[in-house]
A = this chain, B = another copy of it.
Amino acid sequence: MNNDFAHSATSLTRWLKIRATPPSLQDNTADLDRLRRAVVEVVGNRPLLIPFNRTAKVALRFRRAGFTGFAVINDLGTTFELVDFVGGNAPVRVGVALDLGTTHLEATLIDLGDGRQLAHANRENGQIPFGADVLSRVHRADEPGGAAVLHQEVILSINGLIATLAKDGGISAGEIRALSVSGNPVMTHFLLALETAQLIREPYIPSANLIDPCHGADLGLVIHPSAPVWIMPGVGSYFGGDLISGIIASGLHQEEQVCMLIDVGTNAEVVVGCRDWLIACAGAAGPALEGGVARMGMRAGAGAIEHVEIEPGSGEISYTTIHSEKPRGICGSGIIDLVAALYLARIIDIRGKFRPACGHPRLLSTGEDLAFMVATPEEAADGRPVLFGQIDLDAVMRSKAAMYSILTTLVNQVGVAFGDLHKIYVAGAFGRHISPRQAIVLGMLPDLPLTTFVPVGNSSLAGAERALLDRGARDACRSIIRQITYLELNVNQEFMIRFSGSRFIPHTDHTLFPSVPFYNQD
């Protein structure tokens, strides 16, 4: 992880201290030309534009402030933009970093002067009523009026979140002078009101991967109208700015040794590489690993069973829940623990099928299928037992197989062995809660020393924060998307072959997982 932030001096918006000589008959330089001259002295020769809708305001404010104060500059990458002039000695200098997730938005209010976090908030994505997942939302957007509604909902959600941040930070939303946004390609397209249909149709082409920064007013946001909005660029329809954020936040692009970054959601996105090269791929892993399984799956939230153990001898079960509340369901990390434990206790076999012969008292027939009762009705929050059935198990087996196949196809493509990986960064809620050991038992993650696995938390948000504060990070984004090679798994034969071999616990080739006990098929 790279933590050498360079604050303020290179943030997306900058305040330059200006003390200009007032005009006189001997020095009749026009006000804006005088200001421009002073700014160029500080920022150098990169093109400096003054947007027309700021021209009169900037000129007047510079004059009224007595030609002394702070020029407010947006860093648009290849150009600078002079958007305001503020008198006084201590201007408010704040920006927001936003993780624009499909289900949740998470954001931080940041002091652009010193990089401090001033407030943190999250909320549900208001688009959910229009489609639970990106695919259904893209279909909805294709209906008459749909695209406008989905764009508006995401703007409303962001504005709501910003209002909360502003309140918590003790400022007004209009004082927020910069925003950086990290999201997947579909969310980014909705935000920018770009057409989404082509994202999900072969050959899966985004309208744009790299967007020039726009302004708060362009999007109808409640931040300052001329605040620049930086959108983390993507690489393709299935590899978006959230992943580039992951690379930036983990520092993968600066590593001397080959490392890997894994981000697991409904899609599993994986990058392998170092400072010299990067190769990425993404594949459908199914919702199982996010807790999206049939019966009692849930996202990581209060009352979710997050860790499960089964004593192999006695078959006795124990679990913990998030916030120690009574169990309501089971989340991704809980499911991985559970399936691994079921295997080690020989309640399921290497194909991931329940073994009625094991005779475990918690193994029940629901009529529809066999199911394991993780929590009893007495223990549960609502009196309904937390059950995990064969259908759920099948979904997990497909997901874990997809995950491992993606990883092996990628490293094989690159010509490195898993053992060559210096670190494996694991992003998101999955990375924060998962026990790598149980994922290895399942045959989902490669059998490596546990110290190899490094959780990186919400790296989508962390990347957005870096981009907000550090020009180096923004430049790195632009260079990463040029440099990265994207492997399309949807058309990859090798992936399909590997997928079949991965549909066992831990794998058909159990020599790949020397640390995991191998139980021959009954």
Contacts and interface: CB of A to CB of B under 8 A. Distances in A.
A89 interface: no
Contact of A194 (B29, B55, B207, B486): B55
A76 B49 contact: yes
Given A30-B209, A31-B207, A208-B32, A49 B488 contact: no
A60 B207 CA distance: 8
Nearest to A185: B30
A48 to B, nearest CB: 8
Interface in A482-496: 486, 488, 490-491
Contacts of A30: 205-210, 234, 236
Given A28-B203, A209-B30, A195 B59 contact: yes
Given A28-B203, A205-B31, A212-B50, A198 B63 contact: yes
B203 A23 contact: yes
A479 interface: no
B25 A56 contact: no
Interface in A36-51: 36, 47-51
A60 B55 CA distance: 31
A203 B204 CA distance: 61
Interface string A207-230: 111111011001100000000000
Nearest to A236: B28
A143 interface: no
Contacts of A55: 192, 194, 207-208, 211-212, 214
Contacts of A206: 30-31
Interface in A249-287: none
B49 A212 contact: yes
Given A55-B192, A198-B63, A79 B49 contact: yes
A212 B48 CA distance: 9
A230 to B, nearest CB: 12
Contacts of A31: 198, 205-208
Contacts of A219: 52
A39 to B, nearest CB: 13
A25 B210 contact: no
Contact of A28 (B49, B214, B218, B488): B488
A3 interface: no
A78 to B, nearest CB: 3
Contacts of A194: 55-56, 59
A78 B47 contact: yes
A408 interface: no
A405 interface: no
A521 interface: no
Given A47-B47, A55-B208, A56-B193, 14 more contacts: A25-B488, A28-B203, A28-B236, A31-B207, A32-B208, A32-B210, A33-B208, A36-B210, A49-B76, A52-B214, A52-B219, A56-B194, A59-B207, A63-B198
Interface of A: 23-25, 28-33, 36, 47-53, 55-56, 59-60, 63, 76-79, 192-195, 198, 202-212, 214-215, 218-219, 234, 236-237, 486, 488, 490-491
